[in-house]
Amino acid sequence: MLILYFLLGVALFGALTSTIFLGLVLAGAIKFHRDARQAIDSLSRVKYFPPVSVLKPVHGLEVRLKEKLEGFFRQDYPAYEVLFAADEENDPALCVVREVSARYPQVPCKILVNGIPPWPNPPAYSFSRLTELAENEILVTSDSDVEVAPNYLREVVAPLLDPKMGMVTCVYRGKNTAGFWSGLTAIGMSVEMTAGVLVANLLEGMKFGLGPTIAVKKEALARIGGYQKLGDYFANDFMIGHLIDAAGYRVVLSHHVIEHVVNQKNFQAMWDNQFRWAKSTRYSRPRGHFGSGLTFALPYGLLGLVAAMALGKPGLGLALLGAAVLNRILESWLVGWGVVRDPVALKQFWLYPIRDFLGFIVWAASYTGARAVWRDSRYELQGDKIVLRKNAGSPPTAGISRAPQSHPNSHH
């Protein structure tokens, strides 16, 4: 009997903490919209945009790769270049890069084959090599699985015109291109991830980056030791913001929202992705990650239902479960639609309570072991650093080429 009352107490406490978190999310969303209005007003007064270098590692034929790449060649921006990196010359993604870039000869484009990255963190190595080629002082790094609108560069770069600013990052909405499991990841991006970012921005300001987009000044990057400084960290996107903030520059959350394409066709692909994210957060922000266990709602609602039913209090149990479901629906609408404008979060809001329960399981599982999987590599972690990366294959010859600027069937 005592254990049932203890479990009911845990459920009530979880209901309280998840409600408090929802209130913080509301305050964070209000701040986001207020900051967005100020940024849009400032943007309208910008007279000059400096040239920019966009750095994009690619790997394999991802779904909608052509559409993703084209967005970066269709920018409403006065002067910029796009630099791509791949581990191998025969990476099929490079054929798509060459095809797309040939249709936009007005946009300078270079391709770097950097070989199998010798650093524990492959993206950090690719960004470091690309920075050596970059001709401009502002670097915009981007994952290969995002889609952007024509106003992307203008809105992301504008805050960096302030001398105090060192880095800009963006929230994003998930774009499901597969089935149910992929959809759970996508709505988690739109709601759960964004909610956490909004609250962090509210309580302490931005002191980290989000991998899908990070715009940074070369001077700020040099101050922290360049991408070499990030080569051992598992969460290089988190660390670059953390180090730049510590170096005395400001890190700002852009009002621009990008699309993160999700294509996880089965449970295992979804689990590996979610597990890696959770591991990354656990090691980069251990206290915050531990505290996030109190931000979920549905697990505590289900626990309250079971405990209350066993104690002969079904009304209380149903009330706790109903409150938990309502909490997650409100968060789906408030963040998923109100902030990142994800129509799925508005119309298929019932998905988010399911995602919330799954998110709790992933969170709990993140405390098992110190291993993670990303693409074709397996990692072993110690603290927030990678101590071992297992990757099959031998390093190919590195090289640089310019993408074709005339005919889409050209081959370099």
Q: How far apart are CA 227 and CA 188, in angstroms?
A: 29
Name, in order, each residue with C-beta under 8 angstroms of 48's C-beta and a sequence gap of 6 or more: none
Sign of CA dihedral 116, 119, 120, 123: negative
Contact 365, 55 (CB under 8 A): no
CATH value of 48-285+392-402 in 3.40.1360.10, 3.30.1330.10, 3.90.550.10, 3.50.50.60? 3.90.550.10
The residue ranges of every structural domain in the chain are 48-285+392-402
Tell me the sheet residues that pair with 402. Answer: 110
pTM of the prediction? 0.89
pLDDT of residue 283: 78
Strand duo 213-217 + 165-176: pairing: antiparallel
Two tokens, residue 234: 């598992």
Give residue 47's identity as a one-letter amino acid code. Answer: K
> Which residue's structure tokens are 């880095």?
167
pLDDT of residue 400: 62
pLDDT in tens, 267-289: 998 998 888 888 878 877 888 88
Range name among 70-84, 137-151, 344-358, 384-398 with the lowest pLDDT average:
384-398
pLDDT in tens, 8-39: 999 999 999 999 999 999 999 999 999 999 99
- 341 Rama sector, left if φ>0, alpha if ψ -120 to 50, beta otherwise: left
Two tokens, residue 85: 């990196």
If you average pLDDT over every residue of the chain, what do you get? 90
pLDDT in tens, 373-399: 656 666 666 666 654 466 644 444 455
Residue 209, pLDDT > 50, answer yes
Two tokens, residue 95: 């054929």
Q: How far apart are CA 69 and CA 101, in angstroms?
A: 9
pLDDT of residue 382: 61
pLDDT of residue 409: 32
Range name among 18-32, 116-130, 186-200, 304-318 with the lowest pLDDT average:
116-130
Mean pLDDT of 46-66: 93
Looking at per-residue confidence, does 80 or 379 come out higher? Answer: 80
Sign of CA dihedral 333, 339, 345, 347: positive
pLDDT of residue 300: 97
Looking at per-residue confidence, does 375 or 234 come out higher? Answer: 234
Q: How far apart are CA 374 and CA 292, in angstroms?
A: 23
Mean pLDDT of 189-198: 96
Residue 367, pLDDT > 60, answer yes
Q: How far apart are CA 376 and CA 391, in angstroms?
A: 7
Count of Cβ atoms closer than 10 Å to residue 331 Cβ? 28
pLDDT of residue 272: 86
pLDDT of residue 412: 30
Residue 48, pLDDT > 80, answer yes
Two tokens, residue 363: 């969170």
Residues above pLDDT 90, as percent of the chain: 75
pLDDT of residue 232: 85
If DSSP states are collapsed to H, E and C, what string results for the chain? CHHHHHHHHHHHHHHHHHHHHHHHHHHHHHHHHHHHHHHHHHHCCCCCCCCEEEEEECCCCCCCHHHHHHHHHCCCCCCEEEEEEECCCCCHHHHHHHHHHHCCCCCCEEEEECCCCCCCCHHHHHHHHHHHHCCCCEEEEECCCEECCCCHHHHHHHHHHCCCEEEEEEEEEEEECCCHHHHHHHHHHHHHHHHHHHHHHHHCCCCCCECCEEEEEHHHHHHCCCHHHHCCECCHHHHHHHHHHHCCCEEEEEEEEEEEEECCCCHHHHHHHHHHHHHHHHHHCHHHHHHHHHCCCHHHHHHHHHHHHHCCCHHHHHHHHHHHHHHHHHHHHHHHHCCCCCHHHHHCCCHHHHHHHHHHHHHHHCCCCCEEEECCEEEEEECCEEEEEEECCCCCCCEEEECCCCCCCCCC
Name, in order, each residue with C-beta under 8 angstroms of 242's C-beta and a sequence gap of 6 or more: 207, 208, 284
Residue 83, pLDDT > 90, answer yes
Looking at per-residue confidence, does 369 or 359 come out higher? Answer: 359
Looking at per-residue confidence, does 149 or 371 come out higher? Answer: 149
Count of Cβ atoms closer than 10 Å to residue 161 Cβ? 15
Tell me the sheet residues that pair with 390. Answer: 378
Nearest residue to 52 (alpha-carbon basis) of 140, 111, 162, 158 = 140
